[in-house]
Every structure is written in C-alpha cells, then in structure tokens.
Structure 1
Amino acid sequence: MEYRVLGKNLKVSEIGFGCMGLSHAYGKPVDKKDGIRLLREAVEMGYTFFDTAEVYGTAGNPHANEELAGEALKSVRDKVVIATKFGIHFDMGSKDVNKPLVPDSRPEVIRASAEASLRRLDTDHIDLYYQHRNDPNVPIEEVAGVMAELMQEGKITHWGLSEADEDTIRRAHAVCPLTAIQNRYSMMARWHEKLFPVLEELQIGYVAFSPLANGFLSARYGKEAVFDSQYDYRSVMPQFSGQGIDKNRKLIALLHKTAEEKCATPAQISLAWMLCKKPYLVPIPGTRNIGRMLENADASAIRLTASEVKALDDALDKMEMSDVFGGTKILSAS
C-alpha cells in the first residue's frame, strides 16, 4: 500500500477503509467479533486510514460503528488515522430505510459529540473530525471556531467538511484551515470535480466516499440482486434498479474492457482511475468481505497513464448512466 498526505501533514494509506457498512446502511450489522477481525486484518494489509461517524448504527445501537472501530483499533492506535464525524442525527421515526437527516452543529452539541466520540473510540484524540453536513442554522465560521478550540485542547488534530461546496470551504478555511473534504465521488458521481482548483489552491485533500458507487462499480450486481429493505440503502438506490442496470450497461462494459487490458478487476480500475487523477484524492471503499478488502487494497499497485485517464473521462462524459444513490432528505432541526 502506498501513502498520501491530506492537507499539509496528515499521512494516510492511499486507499482508506470506510467502516460504515459494518454497522449501517448495507444490511443488518455484522457480528461485532467479525467486524473487529475484519478491521484488524485491514491493518495487516496496509490500511492506515479508517473512517466512521457517531451516527453509523441502528435504532437499537446508534453509535455501534464508533464502538466497533474503537475496540478493533485500540491495540494499533499509534499506527492508524481515525476519522469520525459530528453534526447530524437521523429521524428514527421515519419508516424509510434511508432515514432523513437532521443537521445540528450548535457549539454545545459539537463539544458533547466530540467527548462522546472520544469515549467510544477509546482514544485521547481524533485525527480527522468532519462536520457531517452543513447546518443552515449555524454559520460555518462558528463551527470552524469550535474546531480551532478543540485543536488547542488536543482533542482533535485536523478537521474537515463532508458534502461541502466552494463557498463553505473558503469561509471555513479562513477561520481554521481544513485538512480534507469528504464528498461523494466515483465514475458515476463526478460533479465535485469543479472543486479541484480550490482544493489545490488551499492545499486541502479530497476523501472520496462511495468511490465504487455503493458497490455498483464492482460490476458484481445484476437484476437478480436482492437487498434488505429494512437495513440496506441499496434497496432504493437507482443504480441497482432494473432500469438503472439497463442504463449502465455501457459503463460496466467499459470497466470490464479496461480491467482485462490491465489484468485487474472492474473495482480496481474504478479506484485506480481515481488515484491517478489527483495526488490528494483518497478513496475510502468499505466491505464486509476480506477478499474484497484485499482486492481494493491491491488497486494501489495499478497505475493508469494520463492518456488512459483522459480516455476514460472522455468516455464517461459521453455515456448515458443512471442516477446514483438518490439523495437523502434533510430536515430542519427546529
């Protein structure tokens, strides 16, 4: 596994591990012992960057993912970078599998969240602390001020924004410099490429969540795939619908063709394409399968030339494809 630097000085494995799916959104949570075993195996494979959040869990245990990550990584804490997030909770009264989000980044809520995350992660500091979503009721400058205070207190060492736009990034960075943003990014979700110039200007890293379009770009899912309607967001995602699969046939064919040329898998091509676009891009795919985890890690060894990346971009620009994910409702905190 190779390494990259986010911001000015946060060194991470160039492929990180998204922990969310072990406890949230991709089916019923895994057994805790199995999750711990998987995360420790990830460290052995060379992963050093682990991403979680205070809300990754279920109605019965809404903080399960942080607890899992904390227990799994405690023995290797000095070897890993842990990122977690504050600033939202789910509307658990909703019957939707993809629960609406309620933003809340009031300073007192941020401080309570940080203390609780430190306890669950069983650590004395958070390496990268993201605002999970913008709170329209709290100016980003106020949030950034709290981050500066938490840094001074040694409770966090770096901070970032998730699903951020240019204006929010600039305003936040002016108060307390950002290390990274974490936005959706994949071959099916390229709209945030317009942020590349500002990230380069301000020296901010880009952590890409859902880099495989929620697993679709592994090219392993057809119309026969069935997802748990209670626990699995993919059950309502457009790329996994019958119509979506039909729309995406050319995309999957392109991945298979490129993978064959590079002696790789479609998932590895999807990750390698991203790694070869920008040196500050770090994807964080998640999985419950050790084989898939190794496959993702091995994408670090695949290199595409600039002309190969451009050819893929040009093909993607002209290609019909379905929507991806579908979006999440955001409710007012008031």
Structure 2
Amino acid sequence: MRIDEKICVLYIDDEPNNLLAFQATFRRKYKVLTANSAAEGMGVLTDENVHVIIADQRMPHSTGVEFFQVIRKAHPNPVRMLLTGYTDAEAIVDAINEGEIYRYIKKPWDEIELDNAIKNAYEIYITRDKLNRKVEELQKMNDELNRFVYSTSHDLRSPLASVMGILNLASMEKSVIDPNGYLGMIETCVNKMDTFIQKIIEYYKSIRVEDEFTSIDFRTMLDESIKLVKMQRPDINYILDIDTPVEFVNDQFRISVILDNLISNAVKYQKPTETNPQIEITVKVDEDKASIKIEDNGIGILDQHLNNIFKMFFRSNHTVNGLGIGLYIVKEALTRLGGDISVHSTYGGGTAFYLDIPNYVNKQVNQENS
C-alpha cells in the first residue's frame, strides 16, 4: 500500500439512509465504498482493494454473518466487522468464534467508536499483510535452500562414487599394504556419507514431488523393500500378513519411502545376539484406509525418547550406525498423504509402528467419472 493511499472501507447496508450517513461522516478520512446488498458488495470486492468491510447483520437476502462466510475464502485479506441493531448473541458469538469477524458494532453506531474500530482494524490488516509477505519470503528462501541442498547432494555423489571405485580397485588388486585397516575405515566413512546424501535426496523428493495417485500392490512393494535390506541381516525372518479385499489408491513413491525407512529401521535396530530375529508386517485395507503395523523384536526405544524419534537428526541409540533422518522423512511423507503414525516400544523387547494411510480409491473413481 502507498503511504498516501487512504484506508478503503466497504460499508454494506440495505437502508439507504445509513449508507448516506456513513459516507457523509467518513468520506474525508477514508475511501468509502457502499453497497445496498451482499451481491453488490461482492461486486465491489472483485473490483476494489478493500481493507475493512462493515456489514449490517440484518439484510433481506443475506445476513452479515452469511455474507462473511461466503467471502472469507475468496477475499480473506479485508478485516471484517459486523453491524447489528438487535441482540442476536448466538449468531455474533458463532461468527467471532469461527474467526469470521474482527468485532461487532451496535446500531445506531457511535462515530468515535466506529472510527477507532476502523483504525484498529486497518492496523490488523497491515500486520497481516506484513506477516503474509514475510511468510512468502521465507517460503521462497526455503525453496531455494532445498534446491541448493538437492543440487549439492547430487554433485557430491560423483566424487564419492570415484572414491568408492578406487577403494574397491585397491581391494581387488591388493596393491596397497594396509596393516592398520585405514582403507576399511575410509570405506565405512564414505559409505555413511553416501547413505546420508541419498537420504537428503529422498527427503527433497518426498516434499517436492507432486502427488500421483495410483493403485498399490502392497505385497510387491513389501517384497521389494525386504529384498533391499536382506543383505544387511539375511538371518531375519519376515512375517507378512496382507489383507487387501479392496483396491488401495495413494501415492506410490511416498508410501514406498515410508515402508523402506521403517523396515530399514527395524533391521538396523535388531539385537546382534538375537537367535530368532524377526519383523512382522501386517497390512489391512478397507475403503477408507490402509492400517499397517511394522513390529520387530529388536533393542526397543527408551520411554523418554519416544516423543523425539520423529525429529530430524535425533538418534535414540548411539551404538547403532544411524543418521537420525529416516523417521523424520517417514513423518513428513505421512503428513503429505494425510496419514498418522504412532509407536509402541519396550526397551529391550522391540518396537511396533502403527500407520493409518487414507485410501483414495473413491476419490479416483469420482475423478474418472467427472
């Protein structure tokens, strides 16, 4: 808004005398726009940049509250005030509680009171406008930072791949004498760094890739996830119970990310001395959701750590070679899908994750029919 620009006030009332009185009182202080109906008010909002809206509660075709309910999404920026000449406490309280009006003014209005209310409402408008601009700036900076991290992560993988290739070549040719095992230490560090970079790329894709809803075959997806982690602990027994009487539709990429990370965690946090290590995966699908349980008999999580496990870089057990980002990615992906996750764990006895993920099969059918 320009410094010399007047506060723009839209006054809506079905009584012509009230409109004239308002215009005569405030036209020198503010840019006053008037409308004698909710429909006319909608037209004004479409054509003008309005800062404050004052609407009479009792109008023939629409109450002031109903008018605010209609315009709230299409025109969220103007600050809304309700003018009422009678006591309708329930409607007023409902309007205020739902955040649709800033305040209400009793009719006949007092000039000083109404003038102060308009000024205060405009201050709120300016504050909100500044806040929205800051949010947009922060969002832009966040997007740029994410793109930078993604690009840098990709660039870092090339030299890492070269280092790993040289280490493998030295190992195959046995051309380097390494009595202290330094090459093995280097290889471990390089592999850890590569895993971390892959997780960063995975996280970026999870929050940036557009949703793509397709039919999901849980058995095939789980078989692929298990195949990826079997090399880490081939002795683990996997127990699958998959019940999908109806089709399940959701974002295949994100669900794959969720399952891969949770199964990888279950493998990573198994007890090294466990004689019968196992991971039980249960999937139950209905028309509303998929309920998934992933349970292991691993080392478990301390009670005081349960509230922190979904935070980035938090590690509940530092004896295990983890990065502290997998569960954060799981949570972010689930939030994007509108799903929920909870956890139950007994320290020394294992951990179970419970997921509810919406089934969009009916949404897909409706889109195809529309």
The structure with the greater share of residues assigned to strand is 2
Question: Where on the TM-score scale, by shorter chain, does this alignment land: which range?
Answer: under 0.3
Q: Which has the higher helix share?
A: 2
Q: Compare relative contact order (CA 8 Å, sep 6+) and give the higher one, 1 or 2.
A: 1
TM-score (norm 2): 0.22
What TM-score comes out, normalization by structure 1 length? 0.24
